[in-house]
Structure 1
Amino acid sequence: MEELGEYPEDDWLSLSGLQHYSFCKRQWALIHIEQLWSENTRTTAGSLEHQRTDDYNQSETRGDLLILRSLRVFSRQLGITGICDVVEFRKSPFGVELQHREGNWSPYPVEYKHGAAKKVGADRLQLCAQAMCLEEMLACDISEGALFYHETRRREVVPLNESLRSEVKNLLSDMHEMYSRGHTPKAKRKRACNACSLKNVCLPELSKTKSAKAYIVQCIGDDESEMVRQ
C-alpha cells in the first residue's frame, strides 16, 4: 500500500524536466507532454560531452573514492525519476552502507553541464532534485553537490539549502498538476527563445499575432464596411 503523499510510479515525471520547466514552462510541456524535440548546436554539444558520464560501465574506484556514472535515481515523494551524471561516494564513518561494498560511504552528486556557470538557477534545481532522490533512496542527508561546466572546466559547489529544496518541491507540484491536465502554455516571446532548440517548433513569434477568432471578426467587419460603401 502506498504511503500518504507518495506518487504512483505511473505518474512519475522525468527529473531532467525540472530544468526545462524552470527555464520555460512551454518548452517543458512541448517536450514532456506533447513529446516534441529538436536538436541545435547547444544540445548536440551537450550530448557529446555527456558520452562518458552516460556510461555506467565507466564507474571506477580510486582508493576511498567510488565514482558511479549514469546512476538511476527516483523519489516516490516527489514523483520523479532520472539519471545522475556522476555520484561520488567517499568512505566515511557517517555514511551509508552500499551493496557489495565494505564500509560506509557518503554520496556527493555531480552534474555535468555544457558551457559556463549561469546566473539562473535551473542547473542548481536539477542537482538538488537528484540529491533529494538519493536521500530518499539511501536514507541519508546530503548537504551539497557540484556542477561541472565543460567550458570553464571548473566545479561550482552548490549548498543544498532549504530554500532550494522548497523551490524544487513547489515546481514539481506545479509540473504534476500541469501534466495531469495535459496543458501546454501559450508562447511568450523572450530573449532566451533565441537559444532554444524548440524555437522552430514553439514559434514564439506567433504570440504577437492576433487570435484566429479576432482575425475572422476583423475580416467580417471589413467586408461589412465594404458592402456599406458600395
Structure 2
Amino acid sequence: MYTEDEMLMLSGIQHFMFCPRQWALIHIEQQWAENKLTTEGQLLHKNVDNPFYRQKNGDVITLRSLHIASKQLGLYGITDAVELKPSDTSEDAITHNRYKGYWKPYPVEYKRGRHKPDERDEVQLAAQAMCLEEMYGINIPYGALYYEEVKRRETIFISESLRALTVQCAKQMHDVFKTGVLPKANKQHHCKNCSLVNICMPETNDCAQVSTYLKKNLYEVIT
C-alpha cells in the first residue's frame, strides 16, 4: 500500500507502457512539448472532461471527470467518463445521492487515434477500474475504449492477466520514480511521432539535420 505522498498520476501509466523514458521526462523532469497529436488529444478531452455534465441515455447515466485513486497501485487521477448501469441487486453495485436504486460503474476512456498494437490503452482503463473497485469494494469486469479517429467503442474485459500487467507496470513506475534516473533512450520507429523527440534525443536529431544540410549544400556546390 502506497502513502499519499507516494501517489503518481494514473494517466502516466499509458505513457510508461508506450515508453518509460517519455514517462520519466514528463513526470520526473517535468518536460513537455506539443505537437499535432497532443493538441488533438487535448481538444478531444476538453469536450469530454466536464465534471458538471451528467448525460442520461435511457437508463444509463454518464458521469464525467470523477476523481479516483488506489493505494494498492499508488495511482490517482480523473476519469473521462463512468457510465452507471442499473442493477437489480446491490452486488458489485453502488448508490448515488441523485439517483435511486443500485448502479454498476462502467469506465469509458476516450482516445484520439485508433486501437494500438500493444496494451497501453487497456492498462490505463484497467487502472481506472481497479481504482473504482478499491474505492467502492466492488468488482468491475468490463470497461470500454472509444477511439475518435474511427468513431468506434471497444469493450474491454478486465482480465486477471490485464490486472497483473497493470500492477506490474504501476510498480515499475514507482521504482523508476524513486531512483529519479532517466531510462536510456531506445530509438524506435514511433519516436518520430513523439512530441518530446527533440528533448529525448537531441544528438540524434541534430545529426540528422546536419547530415541533410550537408547533403543538400554539398550537392549544390558540386553541381
TM-score by length of 1: 0.84
State how far apart, in whole Å, the 2-side matches of 1:156 and 1:76 are: 28
Aligned match of 1:50 in 33, 45, 50? 45
Residue type of the partner of 1:23? F
In 2, the alpha carbon distance for the partners of 1:58 and 1:42 equals: 26
Residues 3-48 of structure 1, C-alpha deviation per residue, up to 9 Å, x if partnerless? Answer: xxx1110110000110000000100000000011001000000111
In structure 2, the residue matched to 1:65 is 60
Code of the aligned partner of 2:61: L
* In the alignment, structure 1 residue 202 sits paired with structure 2 residue 200: yes
Task: Verify: 1:78 aligned to 2:73, yes or no.
Answer: yes
Alpha-carbon deviation of 1:142? 0.5
Q: Distance in 2 between matches of 1:206 and 1:197?
A: 15
Partner SS state of residue 99, structure 2:
coil
Counterpart of 1:223? Answer: none
The equivalent residue for 1:156 is: 154
- State how far apart, in whole Å, the 1-side matches of 2:128 and 2:37 are: 23
Tell me the SS of whatever aligns to 2:121: helix
Report what 2:114 is aligned to.
116
- Give the Cα separation in 2 of the matches to 1:120 and 1:7: 27
Identity among equivalent pairs (%): 47
8 Å Cα contact 1:14/1:81 also seen in 2: yes
| Equivalent residue pairs, number | 203
Q: CA deviation at 1:122?
A: 0.5
Q: Secondary structure at the match of 2:30?
A: coil
> What is residue 187 of structure 2 aligned with on the other side?
189
Superimposed CA distance per residue, residues 185-227 of structure 1 (whole angstroms, 9 cap, x where no aligned partner): 12121111011010111016549x9xxxxxxxxxxxxxxxxxx
Inter-CA distance 132–204: structure 2 relative to 1 (3 Å threshold): farther
Specify every segment of 5 or more residues in structure 1 that has no aligned partner in the other structure, as ranges.
1-5, 210-230
- Tell whether 2:20 aligns with 1:25: yes
Closer/same/farther in 2, CA of residues 33 and 27 from structure 1, 3 Å limit? same
Match of 2:163 among 162, 165, 169: 165
CA RMSD in angstroms, aligned pairs only: 1.5
1:75-132 deviation line (CA, Å, top 9, x unaligned): 0111100111010001102322223431100000000000111221100100000000
2:175 corresponds to which of 177, 180, 196: 177
2:127 to 126, 129, 143: 129
Name the structure 2 match of 1:221: none
Larger Rg: 1
Distance 1:123 1:16, change over 3 A: same
CA distance in 1 between counterparts of 2:126 and 2:202 reads 30
TM-score, normalising length: structure 2:
0.87
Which residue does 1:99 correspond to in 2? Answer: 97
1:214 — aligned with what? none
Counterpart position of 1:90:
85
